[in-house]
Chains A and B, each alone.
Chain A
């Protein structure tokens, strides 16, 4: 039988920026969880998610909201005594979950991220109104109205763009991205 790699190794392989990521060296001290400003809203704290990965409990990891609640503030990363780049790990788990088309129900993050990237590929610039459909349906009526109120006030204060901005060399830009990603995947 061919050798297979463990879930923990699979996750480590997803980390380009932190190549050689020592997930295995985690000593479970909990500094990350104590530092994390979002830990209270996560299904598993950062310490727990690392423990689950190292134990190969893939299904629990894939069904956790933890990494989609990571705010990318890197506070855990600068404090980890084992120098594990936990924020990059959270990004890697998001990518893994998108590729596997598996995530906890009701999360906005996956659709929002894809909508964001598609927007950039089309215009080269960010244009907030285009993103609304990816999250607005997750709001209840009250939240929806509050969001409309915010948008209206921004508009009145001249802080909301009416038309999307576009970079000039759009054709070059698209061909450039074509050399990096299979365009079929996101178009």
Chain B
């Protein structure tokens, strides 16, 4: 059984509890152990950067130092947490002066970051560590061609972290295919949902949500799959407001990829946190997963 240090992030404690539940349940059945790191703090989302870069790196470095003590790779299910911690690790590796400065601060919490932690997004664990073959083998209740829009969003892919394909990625499609779903091709799959703007620049964010939903619906998707709590909340909880604002009639369920994987593995909907949605998941999809 492979083990990872797990950083759930603030959203997964409540707002995106379904993501947390389904992540733990599916990984456990796939032979992966996610061990939550002790006393972690908020990664800072996008707001820290607006105030101070050094502060952002320090807060992320505290989590990295705590994770480093476990000797494991660090996994974040939220794209924003992942991006922040990935780049803090990167900055600290490239800049010894910055690392010294931040380690001086970390001393106050009896921590020291040596710079050895590898940061991964949860979907990378599914794609790289578990792999499509294994997912296919464990999908005892394949999703029978349910049309799913894979929504990459921003920060899994961008800014470029390694050699990943930032223009035409296919890993989300492959993951969905491996559990028997049919991924639809739609032009806005990597377009930002406006999650960080929903409270501060509402008009812009609602317009962005609308464009995304329209693009997925035009491609006949019956559900949108996400790998980020910010995207899920933005696309789902603001769907009704989009309908009121633009006179549209969207009713698209937005599910975490872990929930879809779980359904395909025959895990009960309760264990996957299904039932807490604003837009109910179609009974046909739930059945596909339970047959």
- Interface residues, chain A, CB within 8 Å of chain B? 16-17, 37-38, 40-41, 68-69, 71-75, 77-78, 85, 87, 91, 94-95, 98, 107-110, 112-114, 116-117, 120, 124-128, 131, 135, 139, 143, 146, 149-150, 153-154, 157-161, 165, 167-169, 172-173, 175-181, 186
Contact in complex: A146, B241 (CB < 8 Å):
yes
Closest 9 interchain pairs by CB? A73-B192, A74-B158, A116-B47, A126-B10, A73-B154, A113-B50, A172-B109, A179-B105, A175-B108
Cross-chain pair count, CB within 8 angstroms: 188
Contact in complex: A161, B160 (CB < 8 Å):
no
Contact in complex: B44, A161 (CB < 8 Å):
no
Contact in complex: A176, B108 (CB < 8 Å):
yes
Q: Is B203 an interface residue (CB 8 A)?
A: yes
Contact in complex: B45, A172 (CB < 8 Å):
no
Contacts of A16 in B (CB 8 A): 53-54
Shortest C-beta distance, B88 to chain A (Å), equals 10
Contacts of B153 in A (CB 8 A): 73
Closest to A42 in B: B204
**By DSSP majority rule, is chain A's interface helix, strand, loop, or mixed?**
helix
Contact in complex: A112, B200 (CB < 8 Å):
yes
Selected interface stretch from B11-19, B114-122, B261-269: B11-19
Contacts of A78 in B (CB 8 A): 157-160, 166
Give per-residue flags for B96-140: 1 if the beta carbon is below 8 A from chain A beta carbons, else 0: 000000101111111000000000000000000000000000000
**By DSSP majority rule, is chain B's interface helix, strand, loop, or mixed?**
helix
Which residues of B from 78 to 104 have beta carbons under 8 Å from A?
87, 91, 102, 104
Which residues of B from 12 to 57 have beta carbons under 8 Å from A?
13-17, 39-42, 44-55
- Given A108-B199, A165-B13, A169-B109, output 18 extra A-B contacts at Cβ < 8 Å: A37-B194, A71-B192, A72-B46, A73-B153, A74-B158, A91-B49, A95-B52, A98-B50, A114-B51, A116-B45, A117-B55, A125-B42, A167-B39, A177-B58, A179-B107, A179-B108, A180-B105, A181-B54
Contact in complex: A74, B58 (CB < 8 Å):
no
Contact in complex: B45, A126 (CB < 8 Å):
yes
Contacts of B223 in A (CB 8 A): none
In the assembled complex, 25 residue pairs joining A and B whose CB atoms fall closer than 8 Å, in A order, are A16-B54, A38-B197, A69-B204, A71-B197, A72-B49, A73-B153, A73-B155, A75-B190, A94-B49, A98-B50, A109-B201, A110-B50, A116-B45, A117-B55, A124-B41, A143-B202, A153-B237, A167-B40, A168-B39, A172-B108, A172-B110, A173-B108, A175-B108, A180-B54, A186-B51
Tell me which of B159, B191, B202 contacts A37 (CB under 8 A).
B191
Contact in complex: B14, A160 (CB < 8 Å):
yes
Shortest C-beta distance, A154 to chain B (Å), equals 7
Contact in complex: B194, A38 (CB < 8 Å):
yes
Contacts of B110 in A (CB 8 A): 172
- How far, in angstroms, from A180 to B160 measured CA to CA in the complex? 28
Shortest C-beta distance, A14 to chain B (Å), equals 9
Q: Is B71 an interface residue (CB 8 A)?
A: no
Contact in complex: B47, A113 (CB < 8 Å):
yes
Tell me which of A75, A154, A159 contacts B192 (CB under 8 A).
A75
- How far, in angstroms, from A121 to B158 measured CA to CA in the complex? 28
- How far, in angstroms, from A152 to B32 measured CA to CA in the complex? 36
Contact in complex: B50, A41 (CB < 8 Å):
no
Contacts of A153 in B (CB 8 A): 237, 278
- How far, in angstroms, from A169 to B63 measured CA to CA in the complex? 13
Q: Is B270 an interface residue (CB 8 A)?
A: no
- How far, in angstroms, from A67 to B60 measured CA to CA in the complex? 24
Q: Is B207 an interface residue (CB 8 A)?
A: yes
Known: A109-B200, A128-B15. A73 touches B47 (CB 8 A): no
Contact in complex: B105, A176 (CB < 8 Å):
yes
Contact in complex: B48, A120 (CB < 8 Å):
yes
- How far, in angstroms, from A126 to B233 measured CA to CA in the complex? 15
Closest to B109 in A: A172
- How far, in angstroms, from A119 to B48 measured CA to CA in the complex? 11
Q: Is B2 an interface residue (CB 8 A)?
A: no
